Chains A and B, each alone.
Chain A
Amino acid sequence: MSCCAPSDFVPLAQGPDTRAQEITLGSRQLEPTLWQTDLSVPSIHCGGCIAKIETALGKVPGIVAPRVNLSTRRVTIKWHDAAAAQAAIDTVQTLGYPCHVFDDTQPQRDEAFHKLILALAVAAFSSMNIMMLSIGVWAGATGSTRDVFHAIAGLLCLPAFLYSGQVFYKSAFDALRHKTTNMDVPIAIGLILAFALSVYETMISSDQAYFDAVATLIFFLLAGRTLDHMMRARARSAVDGLARLAARGAMVVEPNGQTTYRPTAELAPGMEIMLAAGERVPVDGEVIDGISEIDSSLVNGESQPLTVATGSALRAGTLNLSSPIRLRATAAAKDSFLAEMTRMMEAAESGRGAYRTLADRVSRHYTPVVNIAAALALVLWLILGAGVHQSITIAISVLIITCPCALGLAVPMVQVVAARRLFTRRIMLRDGAALEQLATIDTVVFDKTGTLTLGQPQLKRADAVSTDLLAIAAALAGHSLHPYSQAVSAAARTRQIGLSQPEDVREHAGLGVEGRLDGHVWRLGRAGWASADGVGQVILARDGKAQAAFDFEDTERPGLHEAIDDLKRRGLNVELLSGDSAPVVAELAQRLGIETARGEVYPADKLARIRKLQAQGRKVLMVGDGLNDSPALAAADVSMAPANAADVGRNAAGLVFLSESLDAVPYAIETAHQSRRLVTQNFVLAIGYNAIALPVAFLGHITPLAAAIAMSSSSIIVVANALRLVRPSEKKTHHE
């Protein structure tokens, strides 16, 4: 089962084991001594993985009922003792599945979805049973039989009308209260009038009742809504399952010398914090003991690790790379850099004008037209001498037939299909409005580190180093978390070199790694330390004599050049804004042919740039990953973030792509354009159907049978049209 080994290489150096206290923070207490933890394991992908993980976890003592969920890629474990949970996490990791504790801040079950499904089931029950009776009426039931059928249909319609229809009444009511209209307003009016008329018709034992139309309408519309919700929930759960990049808490040294693990919110200025290698800085602070290297790429876009020593200031969100340090908190979590970015992001978001979706804009014109048509029908028939009853019946039938069933499905169906298509390319659409806006953008602003590049250095000219030397270098590098070390390990892995076995390997913070092999001392590290003579970013030296030099460059995202060219071919303006040093940014921009590029940009400047573009009337797509990008992500008309983005950035983005390749950006734009075409077609179809049906209803020829057929067929046509979005792309990928 080769597909079930996501990575067979387990690096020697790993981040610190997730601590028991940290696990407890991310768990839910079920019973006094029983806890439940959800682990996010993104690389689960088949039945083999389920069997492998569940079997292995079943053997871990103290773990109750391990359960893999393949849809959400999560493993649920229950335990009495945090040590068992720790063992379970280690077990899953050892199997080759990276995993992390899934934060259990939200309730496990999606209540809104639960309600929608129930409402849908009730509507399905009502509509099917009413249809059975309606067919009897259409087939020619008369007299008391017909009246009884109508009465039973009315009773059957009640649960759908009162319970399932609530979704629409609530939404329509909210819209009206805010003095706007949405698609649900005409739907709610149509439903209520159709039901009221049918009850009246039943009481006067007339031969027409619209109970079937009411129930079927609710069923169709709810089906569209449920699918829409499912798609979004799926994207949301995929995004939520990504590793949390902010610290959950920190080990605090209490005044009495003991250490306790405290959640980030409880950290106060002046507290002394122990930070292990591989941990993120929880709050802004100052180093009081130790030397280490800090990766701040996620915070300010700088790609080079920074060496810190006693007295250096640290920003919340940066990653400690090489060795443990002690720091003193200088700000509480709510005053830290991370919180500052969140506040700036919220301000940017509230400043952005509320986007009115296409469906809402259409309905703003649609609702008055339909209402006026119905009123006109009433007045005309009264003038023409028809009775009051007949005139009202015709007016209401106009409202029923124009009830925007197909119109209500026109947009959600396309979005559902588009979201599914994006999902198969590992792009998560978090919000349907984002897709609509993506079709209108004319400017794309990119961040550099972590977005155009992967934010991981790669060994330059890896082939120039001899196999023996690389084997030694990689063996030493395996003991360090430093990005350069990991790049050396990765190079050895690609060339499939067996590693040497050095002894007494030690990492010297900020300097490098040292080890002994066959009586010689080998050092891998910075030039002045490893040897006096070597030139390069990292030197491999034997007894102080340089043997090999390694230089690194930031890895570009695969598909970078193609993606940028594609965007430019579409006539979009491409800009680059980065917190990294200006020469690095200029060099990359020049290679990519991006004319507008700026380096050393602060978060507020990124935000200002987006605002300025918008003031010029441009529609901006922001693609970025860092904390420093998050205000800009929130301010842009629509934004995309890669999976490795900071948590707040991911939450601000309308789309999140999990694939490594940057072709996700043009692909999403292409899908957005196709969706917009299909939505327009669907609107034309739905409105065209109304244009035909309206005169017929106006003339008083709409019977319940005609209404049922017209509604179902127009809905099916609209859904079928939306499904066309799936096919062309699949054909294309087969050819590629």
Chain B
Amino acid sequence: MNEFFYLIPVSLALGTLGLVVFIWSLRAKQYDDLDGAAERVLYDNDEPISGE
């Protein structure tokens, strides 16, 4: 059992990474217009993700 203990920090690190990425995407306003994002994917003219 003891030889698997290193898996715990690994899984926690991955979990934390997921949380951080989620918070980043929230801050980057990626959830502000979900309906629009679904439609924009169909158009060719690429533009910056954020209107800033």
User: Which A residues form the contact surface with B (CB < 8 A)?
Assistant: 46-47, 50-51, 55, 65-72, 76, 114, 117-118, 121-122, 125, 128-129, 132-133, 141, 145, 152, 156
Across the interface, which residues of A come within 8 angstroms of B36, CB to CB?
50, 68-71
Q: Name 11 extra pairs, CB < 8 A, besides A55-B45, A121-B26, A145-B2.
A: A47-B40, A50-B40, A65-B51, A66-B51, A67-B51, A70-B36, A114-B26, A118-B23, A121-B19, A125-B16, A152-B8
Known contacts A47-B43, A70-B36, A71-B33; is-contact A125 B8 (Cβ 8 Å): no
- Distance in angstroms from A157 CB to nearest chain B CB is 13
Known contacts A47-B40, A71-B36; is-contact A132 B22 (Cβ 8 Å): no
Within the assembled complex, what's the spacing in Å between the Cα atoms of A536 and B36? 51
Within the assembled complex, what's the spacing in Å between the Cα atoms of A67 and B26? 18
- Distance in angstroms from A449 CB to nearest chain B CB is 35
- Distance in angstroms from B45 CB to nearest chain A CB is 8
The answer to whether B32 touches A69, judged by C-beta atoms less than 8 angstroms apart, is yes
A-B contact pairs, 29 of them (CB 8 A): A47-B40, A47-B42, A51-B45, A55-B45, A65-B51, A65-B52, A67-B51, A68-B36, A69-B32, A70-B33, A70-B35, A70-B36, A70-B39, A71-B32, A71-B34, A72-B33, A117-B26, A117-B31, A118-B23, A118-B26, A121-B22, A121-B23, A125-B16, A125-B18, A125-B19, A128-B15, A129-B15, A132-B11, A156-B12
Q: Which residue of A lies closest to B41 (CB)?
A: A47
A-B pairs with beta carbons under 8 A, tally: 56
Within the assembled complex, what's the spacing in Å between the Cα atoms of A156 and B11? 12
Choose one: B2, B35, B45; the contact of A71 (CB below 8 Å): B35
Q: Which residue of B lies closest to A129 (CB)?
A: B15
Within the assembled complex, what's the spacing in Å between the Cα atoms of A67 and B29? 13
Across the interface, which residues of B come within 8 angstroms of A125, CB to CB?
15-16, 18-19
- Distance in angstroms from B37 CB to nearest chain A CB is 8
Across the interface, which residues of A come within 8 angstroms of B15, CB to CB?
125, 128-129
Q: Which residue of B lies closest to A67 (CB)?
A: B51
Within the assembled complex, what's the spacing in Å between the Cα atoms of A502 and B34? 49
Number of interface residues of B (CB under 8 A): 25
User: Which B residues form the contact surface with A (CB < 8 A)?
Assistant: 1-2, 8, 11-12, 15-16, 18-19, 22-23, 26, 31-36, 39-40, 42-43, 45, 51-52
Known contacts A121-B19, A152-B8; is-contact A51 B43 (Cβ 8 Å): yes
Within the assembled complex, what's the spacing in Å between the Cα atoms of A68 and B35? 11
Within the assembled complex, what's the spacing in Å between the Cα atoms of A68 and B18? 29
Across the interface, which residues of B come within 8 angstroms of A152, CB to CB?
8
Q: Which residue of B lies closest to A30 (CB)?
A: B52
The answer to whether A46 touches B51, judged by C-beta atoms less than 8 angstroms apart, is no
Within the assembled complex, what's the spacing in Å between the Cα atoms of A152 and B12? 10
- Distance in angstroms from B26 CB to nearest chain A CB is 6
- Distance in angstroms from A442 CB to nearest chain B CB is 39
The answer to whether B26 touches A69, judged by C-beta atoms less than 8 angstroms apart, is no
Q: Which residue of A lies closest to B48 (CB)?
A: A65
Across the interface, which residues of A come within 8 angstroms of B43, CB to CB?
47, 50-51
- Distance in angstroms from B39 CB to nearest chain A CB is 3
Across the interface, which residues of B come within 8 angstroms of A114, CB to CB?
26
The answer to whether A50 touches B19, judged by C-beta atoms less than 8 angstroms apart, is no
- Distance in angstroms from B5 CB to nearest chain A CB is 8
Within the assembled complex, what's the spacing in Å between the Cα atoms of A46 and B40? 10
The answer to whether B12 touches A129, judged by C-beta atoms less than 8 angstroms apart, is yes
Across the interface, which residues of A come within 8 angstroms of B2, CB to CB?
145
Q: Which residue of B lies closest to A149 (CB)?
A: B8
Within the assembled complex, what's the spacing in Å between the Cα atoms of A55 and B40? 13
Can you list the 8 inter-chain pairs with the closest CB atoms, starting with the nearest? A47-B39, A70-B36, A67-B51, A70-B35, A69-B33, A125-B19, A71-B35, A65-B51
Within the assembled complex, what's the spacing in Å between the Cα atoms of A184 and B3? 43
Across the interface, which residues of A come within 8 angstroms of B16, CB to CB?
125
Q: Which residue of B lies closest to A117 (CB)?
A: B26
- Distance in angstroms from B15 CB to nearest chain A CB is 5
Across the interface, which residues of A come within 8 angstroms of B35, CB to CB?
70-71
The answer to whether B51 touches A76, judged by C-beta atoms less than 8 angstroms apart, is yes
Within the assembled complex, what's the spacing in Å between the Cα atoms of A125 and B52? 30
Q: Which residue of A lies closest to B52 (CB)?
A: A65
Across the interface, which residues of B come within 8 angstroms of A128, CB to CB?
15
Across the interface, which residues of A come within 8 angstroms of B23, CB to CB?
118, 121
Within the assembled complex, what's the spacing in Å between the Cα atoms of A80 and B52? 15
Most chain A CB inside 10 Å of its own CB: which residue of B15, B26, B31, B36 = B36
Across the interface, which residues of B come within 8 angstroms of A118, CB to CB?
23, 26
Within the assembled complex, what's the spacing in Å between the Cα atoms of A675 and B13? 43
Across the interface, which residues of A come within 8 angstroms of B32, CB to CB?
69, 71
Across the interface, which residues of B come within 8 angstroms of A68, CB to CB?
36
Within the assembled complex, what's the spacing in Å between the Cα atoms of A114 and B26? 8
Across the interface, which residues of B come within 8 angstroms of A72, CB to CB?
33
- Distance in angstroms from A186 CB to nearest chain B CB is 29
Q: Which residue of B lies closest to A145 (CB)?
A: B1
- Distance in angstroms from B52 CB to nearest chain A CB is 7
Most chain B CB inside 10 Å of its own CB: which residue of A51, A55, A133 = A51
